């Protein structure tokens, strides 16, 4: 206990201080109520996101580029938290979480290379990863294909993952297998990093929080692959993420086989199905799961404070905040009504609006 206190007190203070800069329900209220997109940006410039917008001519920047820019504070947060965590094992958990975004950027580079497009067109789509990344991005852009990319990434967690996916990339003639392999590599690292945490309590807390997160992601992936990509259960199981808490392989298989929403709900573990009983449509799962996740993240801040889960919770919460912002921004672009926009934002971010 004393050791954990010593290990996490600085990082915890850092995480809590950073969390103090999160958008309040009042901020979300005004952002949703903004008359148009320029009103949205005008209000956003008064929040902790002002640095992201300062000096930029928003009108001349592509929407995707603005979206990516909104992630800058998140990656700054990753850097600060990683710097604050001197303990290498808990730092690994944060770096593993961060590697999900490295995987995303690698996918963008791969798509660009395979499609024969040029770098300048794809650059605005990249996440602004900042200084924490150790991958040689410039070298990656010069690759001729995935095999060369795997060679350059040989010493990273992604190298072997791409190598293993190459035969299927060649057989199927599309980069989907490599994309999945990259995601799996990042989550496999995350699961391993959690397993390697030195303290049992640290490990349990981290597994509890991140396991829940992986469960929710797996459920969302199953729905996406099933409903949107029409994939068979046997494929979906193989594409599921490792490191879940409440849903094992059998559970994932059952969910993948579920034909209706009701059947899906029945196959969910009780801890989840109880909270989602009202859902009748596949589309309603995403906001519901996001709300569930937000609630569990907030709970982490109110419980035992000295474990890596606190830092992870802050970073995930920030990530969801950015996603909510992007969702509002997109709705504003499409001139959606405020009440419709509200439906896409997790209710946890909107409550406590006491000023109106």
Partner 1 sequence: MFKAVKLTRVTIQCPEEQISPVMSVLGNMRLLHLIRIEETHLGKLGYVARVDRELLDHYTSLLTRTNRLIDGLHPTQPMPSVTKIPRPDKEIFRLKEVITRIEKEALSILEEREKTWQAIVQDQTLLDRLKLLEPAELDFDRLGSLKYATWMTGLIPEENLDRLEESLSDVYHALIPILKKDGKIVLFAMSLRDDENVLHRALKSAFWDPIELPDNLKGNIFEVTERTSRALEGLKARLSELDQQRKMLGEKYGTQLLETREIILLCSQLLKAQKKFGAIDHTYIITGWLPVDLFNELKKRIAEATMGKALIDQVDPEHIREVRSGILKIPILFNNPLLIRPFERLTTLYGTPSYKEIEPTVFLAISFLVLFGMMFGDVGQGAVLFAIGYYVFRRMFRFMDYGVILMECGVSSIIFGLLYGSVFGFEDLIPALWIHPMRHIDHFMKVSVLLGISIISLGFLLNLVNLLRQRRYGDLFSASGLAGALFYWLLAGLGIRYIFSENVSPVEVLLAKISAISLFMIMLLQRPVRSLLFHLRKGGRQRRLPKGIGITLFESLIEVLDDILRYMANTVSFVRVAAFGLTHVALFMAVFSLADMVRTAHGRGLSYWLVIVIGNLVIILLEGMVVSIQTLRLEYYEFFSRFFRGGGKPFRPLLEEKAG
352: which DSSP letter?
-
Measured CA to CA, the distance from residue 218 to residue 59 in angstroms comes to 37
Is there binding between residue 250 and partner 1 (CB under 8 A)? yes
On the 0-12 / 13-18 / 19+ scale of CB atoms within 10 A, 299 is exposed
Told to check if 267 binds partner 1 by CB under 8 A, we report: no
Query: Is 235 an interacting residue with respect to partner 1 (CB under 8 A)?
Result: yes
Would you call 108 exposed, middle or buried from its count of C-beta atoms within 10 A (0-12, 13-18, 19+)?
middle
Q: Is 181 one of the binding residues for partner 1 (CB under 8 A)? A: yes
Supply angle C-alpha 109, 114, 116, rounded to 5.
Answer: 95
Smallest distance from the beta carbon of 210 to partner 1, in angstroms? 18
Is 106 or 316 the residue whose CB approaches partner 1 more closely? 106
Q: Determine if residue 314 is left, alpha or beta; phi over 0 gives left, psi from -120 to 50 gives alpha, anything else beta.
A: alpha
Contact pick of 232, 274, 303, 334 for partner 1 (by CB under 8 A): 232
Considering only residues 103 to 162 of the shown chain, the ones binding partner 1 according to CB under 8 A are 160
Q: Which C-beta is closer to partner 1: that of 29 or that of 226?
A: 226
Q: Rounded distance, CA 46 to CA 52, Å?
A: 11
Task: Work out how close the CB of 216 gets to partner 1 at its nearest, in angstroms, rounded to a whole number.
Answer: 19
How many amino acids of this chain bind partner 1 (CB under 8 A)? 25
Name the region of 286 (left: φ>0; alpha: ψ -120 to 50; beta: rest): alpha
Sequence-ordered list of residues with C-beta below 8 angstroms from that of 262, at least 6 positions apart, any chain: none
128-136, 238-246, 289-297, 306-314 -> range binding partner 1 (CB under 8 A): 238-246
The answer to whether the CB of 287 falls within 8 A of the CB of 346 is yes
Nearer to partner 1, 227 or 353 (CB): 227
Which phi-psi region, left, alpha or beta, contains residue 130 (left: φ > 0; alpha: ψ -120 to 50)? left
Decide if residue 167 touches partner 1 (CB under 8 A). yes
CB of residue 247 to partner 1, shortest distance in Å: 12
User: Is position 195 an interface residue for partner 1 (rule: CB under 8 A)?
Assistant: no
Nearer to partner 1, 80 or 164 (CB): 164
Q: Does 234 bind partner 1 (CB under 8 A)?
A: yes
**Cα separation values, 60 from 65, 66, 192, Å:** 10, 10, 43
Q: Is 228 in the site for partner 1 (CB under 8 A)?
A: no
- Rounded to a whole number of angstroms, the minimum distance from the CB of residue 85 to partner 1 is 27
CB proximity list for 219: less than 8 A, separation 6 or greater: 247, 255, 268, 272, 285, 289
Tell me how far apart the alpha carbons of residues 42 and 31 are, in angstroms, rounded to a whole number.
Answer: 9
240 interacts with partner 1 by CB under 8 A: yes
Run of H or E residues at 313: helix 308-333
Q: Which of 19, 111, 164, 344 binds partner 1 (CB under 8 A)?
A: 164
Q: Select the residue interacting with partner 1 from 15, 157, 165, 268 (CB under 8 A).
A: 165
Closest C-alpha to 265, from 230, 296, 297, 289: 289
CB of 230 to partner 1, least distance (A): 12
168 vs 327, beta carbon nearer partner 1: 168
- Smallest distance, partner 1 to C-beta of residue 345, A: 34
In eight-state DSSP terms, residue 100 is H
Q: Which stretch, 112-120, 121-129, 251-259, 297-305, contacts partner 1 (CB under 8 A)?
A: 251-259
Q: By CB under 8 A, which span of 33-41, 205-213, 227-235, 261-269 interacts with partner 1? A: 227-235
Please select the residue that binds partner 1; options are 33, 168, 204, 273, rule is CB under 8 A.
Answer: 168
Instruction: Report d(CA 91, CA 98) in Å as an integer.
Output: 11
In the complex with partner 1, the residue whose CB is nearer, 229 or 304, is 229
Q: What is the DSSP secondary structure assignment for residue 225, as one 8-state letter?
A: I
In the complex, the residues that contact partner 1 under the rule CB under 8 A are: 160, 164-165, 167-168, 171-172, 177, 181, 188, 232-240, 242, 249-250, 252-253, 257
């Amino acid at each position: 206990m004393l050791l954990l206190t010593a290990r996490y007190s600085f990082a915890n203070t850092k995480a809590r201080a950073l969390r103090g800069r999160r958008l309040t329900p009042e901020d979300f209220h005004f952002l949703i109520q903004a008359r148009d997109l320029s009103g949205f940006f005008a209000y956003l410039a008064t929040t902790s996101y002002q640095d992201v917008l300062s000096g930029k001519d928003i009108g001349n920047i592509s929407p995707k580029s603005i979206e990516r820019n909104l992630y800058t504070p998140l990656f700054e947060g990753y850097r600060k938290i990683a710097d604050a965590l001197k303990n290498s094992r808990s730092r690994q958990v944060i770096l593993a979480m961060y590697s999900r975004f490295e995987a995303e950027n690698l996918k963008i580079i791969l798509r660009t290379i395979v499609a024969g497009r040029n770098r300048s067109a794809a650059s605005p789509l990249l996440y602004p990863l900042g200084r924490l990344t150790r991958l040689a991005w410039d070298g990656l852009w010069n690759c001729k294909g995935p095999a060369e990319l795997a060679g350059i990434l040989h010493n990273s967690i992604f190298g072997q993952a791409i190598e293993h996916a190459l035969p299927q990339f060649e057989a199927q003639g599309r980069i989907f297998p490599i994309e999945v392999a990259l995601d799996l590599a990042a989550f496999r690292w995350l699961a391993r990093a959690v397993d390697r945490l030195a303290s049992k309590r640290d490990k349990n807390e981290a597994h509890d929080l991140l396991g829940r997160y992986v469960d929710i992601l797996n459920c969302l992936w199953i729905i996406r692959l099933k409903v949107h990509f029409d994939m068979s259960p046997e494929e979906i199981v193989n594409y599921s993420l490792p490191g879940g808490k409440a849903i094992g392989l059998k559970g994932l298989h059952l969910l993948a086989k579920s034909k209706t929403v009701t059947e899906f709900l029945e196959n969910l573990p009780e801890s989840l199905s109880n909270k989602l009983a009202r859902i009748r449509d596949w589309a309603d799962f995403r906001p519901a799961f996001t709300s569930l996740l937000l609630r569990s993240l907030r709970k982490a801040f109110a419980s035992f404070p000295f474990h890596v889960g606190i830092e992870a919770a802050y970073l995930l919460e920030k990530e969801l905040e950015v996603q909510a912002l992007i969702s509002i921004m997109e709705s504003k672009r499409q001139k959606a009504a405020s009440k419709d926009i509200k439906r896409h934002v997790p209710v946890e971010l909107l409550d406590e609006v006491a000023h109106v």
